[in-house]
Amino acid sequence: MTEAHALAPLGIAHLSLLHLSPPELVSTAARAGFDFVGVRVKAVTAGESQYPMEPGSPMSRETLRRLDDTGLSVRDVEFLTLGPETGRDYWQPALEAGAALSATTISVVGVDPEIERLTATLAALSQDAAAYGIVPTLEPISYQPVSTVAQAAPIATAAGAALLLDTLHLQRGGSDLDALSALAPELVPCVQICDGPLLAPRELAVPGDLPLGMKVSGGPLQIEARVLRQVPGEGELPLTRVLRALPAATPVSVEVPNAPLVAALGDLGFAERLRSAGAALTARAAEATR
Q: Which domain holds residue 257?
A: 3-287
Q: How confident is the model at residue 7 (pLDDT cuts 50, 70, 90)?
A: low
Q: Is the pLDDT of residue 3 over 50?
A: no
Q: Is the pLDDT of residue 279 over 70?
A: yes
Q: Is the pLDDT of residue 141 over 60?
A: yes
CA distance 110 to 108: 7
Q: How confident is the model at residue 109 (pLDDT cuts 50, 70, 90)?
A: very high
Residue-wise pLDDT for 167-186, tens only, equals: 999 999 999 999 999 999 99
**Average pLDDT, integer, range 144-159:** 97
Query: Number of structural domains, the chain?
Result: 1
Q: Is the pLDDT of residue 2 over 50?
A: no
Residue type, 204: L
**Average pLDDT, integer, range 137-148:** 97
**Average pLDDT, integer, range 238-243:** 96
Residue 290: what pLDDT?
52
Residue-wise pLDDT for 14-64, tens only, equals: 999 999 999 999 999 999 999 999 999 999 877 788 999 999 999 999 999
Pairing of strands 165-166, 10-12: unpaired
Residue 28: what pLDDT?
98
Lowest mean pLDDT among 54-58, 79-83, 205-209, 254-258: 205-209
**Average pLDDT, integer, range 120-130:** 98
Residue 1: what pLDDT?
34
Q: Is the pLDDT of residue 216 over 80?
A: no
Residue 170: what pLDDT?
98
Share of the chain above pLDDT 90, in %: 84
Residue 97: what pLDDT?
98
Q: Work out the mean pLDDT of the chain and round it to a whole number.
A: 93
Share of the chain above pLDDT 70, in %: 95
Q: How confident is the model at residue 5 (pLDDT cuts 50, 70, 90)?
A: very low
* Eight-class DSSP state of 218: S
In the chain the beta strands, taken as DSSP E runs, fall at 10-12, 36-40, 73-82, 105-110, 135-138, 162-163, 165-166, 191-193, 252-254
Residue 203: what pLDDT?
87
Task: Please choose, from the candidates 223, 226, 166, 235, the residue with its C-alpha nearest in 3D space to the C-alpha of residue 198.
Answer: 235
As to burial, measured by CB atoms within 10 angstroms (0-12 exposed, 13-18 middle, 19+ buried), residue 79 is buried
Residue 213: what pLDDT?
54
Task: Please choose, from the candidates 276, 287, 253, 239, the residue with its C-alpha nearest in 3D space to the C-alpha of residue 35.
Answer: 253
As to burial, measured by CB atoms within 10 angstroms (0-12 exposed, 13-18 middle, 19+ buried), residue 141 is buried
Residue 212: what pLDDT?
54
Residue-wise pLDDT for 79-97, tens only, equals: 999 999 999 999 999 999 9
